[in-house]
A and B are shown apart, each in its own frame.
Chain A
Amino acid sequence: MSAIDPVHLAGLVRRGDLRGLARALTVVENGGPEASVLMHKLYDPSPASRSVGLTGPPGAGKSSLADVLIAHWKSRGRRPGVIAVDPSSPFSGGAILGDRLRMQRHACDPDVFIRSMGSRGHIGGLASSTAQAAEVLAAGGFDPVLIETVGVGQGEIEVVSVADLTVLVLVPGLGDDVQMMKAGIMEIGDLIVLNKADRPGMDQLETVVRASLEFVREGRPVPQVVKCSVATGEGLEDLFSKLDDLLSSGRDFEAVRRGRVRENLLRVAAEQGTRFALELLERSYGIEKAVDMVLAGETTPYEIGERIAALSGRAPV
């Protein structure tokens, strides 16, 4: 392919062309004007496809769980897609994308699409373009779309605002109940999966998790809890049926969608606003010239900011 034509790519995605879909994901991942055109073409405020966030600490078994979920949904005649995010090195910008390793048995299945993403400096457990990548998979006919986050710690909960519902995977042996109390991740999750039930410490983990659920804020649904072992298969049927129930009816997806559209709008506006403001700064001062002026004591970054705001048509506050 010589040049990227996002309109052409959008057509390929809609027609189910896998190479075109893969190319479209790259365009979205790399961002820029082509990505905007592509997403505009593929945009659907109420897609038929559902998305499921899969999050939890490193080594909890997220990718292995994704693997058995793919097999389960395949057996129900669905076409699951996966976006699996791994961390990019803050030093080199490179990444080892290894989640696919656990799901590679599905590689040749044309009704399963797995795509790995590096987080590329974005914090929050996802890459900045993960939400759009999931939308592209949905537009390509994949449903449900699993979004696997990087291994998260105590505050990376962005997936909640991106996915229709979120599965939190926990395992025994990661710390005492104080860790649970401070972990922001305990405040998310429509379904909490206690994985590695064959390992010691499971009873303690379950006690702590159930106790923490008593403090779920009023008006919010209390997450369901499932114990399982992906390694032995124990408890998986229970997990599948609870998750499928949630997917088919168990949640107010309209409210989720409205929240997502709002976030999407704010994000796009913020991106365009940043670009516009930087262009204005460059055109009216020159960035390095402005730095010189601040260093020489002629002005401050705040004054320059207000002048740029005035130039853009907004009166200074």
Chain B
Amino acid sequence: MGERKIRILIAKPGLDGHDRGAKYIARALRDAGMEVVYTGIRQTPEAIAAAAVQEDVDFVGLSLLSGAHNHLFPEVARQLSARGASDIILFGGGVIPDEDIPGLKTAGFRAIFTPGASASEVVEFVEKEFEAGATAGTRA
């Protein structure tokens, strides 16, 4: 009773269909005891944000290899805040050049994972952020 599970939505915005990384991370998060809603490839930012609201997730993780992250990632952040859901923590991963990371962080992304990052780094990030949110009382 009163059990609180970490819920995460993993999605791939835009037209890139390479989803091995996204599925790998989804599985790692599941194995860490989290509930992972997987919405699959070729999602619009609007559909991702709408799903995140309906699923009441704590985190949205985006994966993108196409290079369109500077457009699509911030658009997901905008769509979430348009739905009053800017408290959902955003993170991203994929082929993202170092110089793009500060801009994405300004757009609201708490972490960006680049090639070479391990699944356990992602799990650790999620657990730490969730813990911090729970103590700050932002999410009951």
Interface residues of A (CB under 8 A from B): 1-4, 18-19, 22-23, 25-26, 30-34, 88-89, 92-98, 100-101, 104, 107-108, 113-116, 118, 120, 275
Cβ contacts under 8 Å, B38 to chain A: 96-98, 100-101
Cβ contacts under 8 Å, A100 to chain B: 37-39, 51, 55
* 1/0 contact string of B76-88 vs chain A (CB within 8 Å): 0000000111010
Binds A, one of B22-30, B66-74, B92-100, B113-121: B22-30
Q: Contact between A22 and B39 (Cβ–Cβ < 8 Å)? A: no
Cross-chain contact of B54 among A22, A34, A275 (Cβ < 8 A): A22
Cβ contacts under 8 Å, A3 to chain B: 137, 140
* 1/0 contact string of B44-62 vs chain A (CB within 8 Å): 1011101101111000000
Nearest CB of A to B112, in Å? 23
* CA gap between A218 and B109 in the complex, in Å: 61
Cβ contacts under 8 Å, A26 to chain B: 7, 56
* 1/0 contact string of B6-42 vs chain A (CB within 8 Å): 0100000000000000000011011111111111100
Q: Contact between B30 and A104 (Cβ–Cβ < 8 Å)? A: no
Cβ contacts under 8 Å, A116 to chain B: 35, 37, 55
* CA gap between A161 and B4 in the complex, in Å: 27
Nearest A residue to B58, CB-CB:
A26
Cβ contacts under 8 Å, A94 to chain B: 29-36
* CA gap between A120 and B7 in the complex, in Å: 13
Nearest B residue to A23, CB-CB:
B56
Q: Contact between A107 and B54 (Cβ–Cβ < 8 Å)? A: yes
Nearest CB of A to B122, in Å? 13
* CA gap between A100 and B48 in the complex, in Å: 11
Contacts known (A30-B4, A95-B36); A107 close to B51, Cβ less than 8 A: yes
Q: Contact between A32 and B2 (Cβ–Cβ < 8 Å)? A: yes
Contacts known (A19-B53, A22-B55); A30 close to B30, Cβ less than 8 A: no
Cross-chain contact of A96 among B36, B54, B56, B137 (Cβ < 8 A): B36
Cβ contacts under 8 Å, A108 to chain B: 44, 46-47, 50
Q: Contact between A4 and B36 (Cβ–Cβ < 8 Å)? A: no
Cross-chain contact of A18 among B5, B35, B53 (Cβ < 8 A): B53
Of listed A1, A23, A94, A275, residue having the most chain B CB within 10 A: A94
Cβ contacts under 8 Å, B33 to chain A: 92-94
What are some 13 contacts across the A-B interface (CB < 8 A)? A2-B140, A18-B54, A31-B3, A32-B2, A33-B2, A89-B31, A94-B30, A94-B32, A94-B33, A96-B27, A100-B38, A107-B51, A118-B35
